[in-house]
Amino acid sequence: MTSSFPHAVTPALTTRLPAVGTTVFTRMSALAAQHDAVNLGQGFPDFACDPRLVDLVAEAMRAGHNQYPPMTGVPALRQAIAGKIRAVYGHAYDADTEITVTAGATQALTTAILAVVHPGDEVIVIEPAYDSYMPAIELAGGTVVPVQMALDDAGYHVPWERIQAAVSTKTRLIVINTPHNPTGSVLRDSDLEALAGIVRGTEILVLSDEVYEHMVYDGQQHASMSRHPVLSARTFVVSSFGKTYHTTGWKIGYVAAPASLMVEFRKVHQYNVFSVNAPMQHAIAGYLADPAPYVQLPAFYQKKRDLFRAGLAGSRFELLPADGTYFQCVRYGAISAMPEAAFAEWLTSEIKVAAIPVSPFYRQAKESGIVRFCFAKRDETLALALERLARI
């Protein structure tokens, strides 16, 4: 078909993100659908959320909560979030000035970066890193300073001496992620002390991605920045109801931060999203009144983790520690010498199980012979995947 405007020309653009293409999650999910593979790649559950939560959304709609809610979030939800944080982590955020409801965690992370990072500022990012951090820093005009996690027999961990060495007079922000995607590692209290030692007496801020806060296993407690006085005073803490309540498609999260930081956050927030889905905010506010769903979440997902790990125990995959999140990283060196992306594609097309290579989580792709599986699936889904993986 020819254009009805044959002489029209679309102007050329200079891209703001020259290194960015289609995400690995999109590519691998599309490949999984093409080959009818079990999708253990992209991190989302294949089971439903609590029907009671859906009922609360319907009730909120019928009650007329269908127009713009306040820019900062429905008051009842902000109060419920503040109450949860106080009960779980012992820190009292003011619901009016220190809590903002966001359109998911990625919007919260990007908004925080745009609010505080200026051209020429440096931002330390710990690799492998969730893929939204670096583009947001570049959009803000900041400079990414990547520091790679160490990997040994005990799993992935943050080498704090390297973080300290990366700090300069231009450092504006350090991005933290715990529990960590993609590695499944978690920070401990000793890690928080190390971070506090680095930032104490400086003007460095912290952005803490804690979306998997309720997925910490083996009796460990989540080391939230909210729990540490030095860190909570300079940190944007981000979490996600999508992860906690199995509703990733709802895209509702929140940020907690000191009032002076939240003022700047809200300046950006009001112009890149303004407000967030009203009936779902009201529903989650009511649902949060019962702590049982998030209190029970560690045991729920640890059971799935243990099922998945047991299923791979006799295989040629080498299991890395998985102390948090709903991800399991494995080495595949005993199976193949293929690069990670090629191996993940082979798994998807030939074995019919989709995984995610870890190499794209680095600014400069790093080959470690590791892929990541998501075990946030029904037990029968995991059983089918394990049956296929055991044949390798």
Are 340 and 369 in contact by the 8 Å Cβ rule? The answer is: yes
pLDDT for residue 179: 98
pLDDT for residue 7: 80
- Confidence check: pLDDT of 252 > 60: yes
The verdict on pTM exceeding 0.85 is yes
Residue with the bigger pLDDT between 171 and 8: it is 171
Burial of 271 (0-12, 13-18, 19+ CB in 10 A): exposed
Question: 56-293 adopts what CATH topology?
Answer: Aspartate Aminotransferase; domain 2 (3.40.640)
The rounded distance, in Å, linking the Cα atoms of 29 and 325 is: 19
Looking at every residue in the chain, the average pLDDT score rounds to: 96
- Confidence check: pLDDT of 378 > 80: yes
Q: CA Rg, the chain, in Å?
A: 21
Confidence of residue 231 (pLDDT cuts 50, 70, 90): very high
The rounded distance, in Å, linking the Cα atoms of 187 and 310 is: 24
- Confidence check: pLDDT of 154 > 60: yes
Domains of the chain by residue range: 24-43+296-389, 56-293
Residue with the bigger pLDDT between 151 and 2: it is 151
Could you give the maximum distance between any two Cα atoms of the chain, in Å? 67
The CATH class, in words, for 24-43+296-389 is: alpha beta
- Domains 24-43+296-389 and 56-293 fall in the same CATH topology: no
CA torsion, ordered 304, 306, 311, 317, to nearest 10 deg: 110
- Confidence check: pLDDT of 221 > 60: yes
pLDDT tens, 2-12?
Answer: 556 778 899 99
- Confidence check: pLDDT of 171 > 70: yes
pLDDT tens, 311-327?
Answer: 999 899 999 999 999 99
Q: Quick check: helix, strand or coil at residue 385?
A: helix
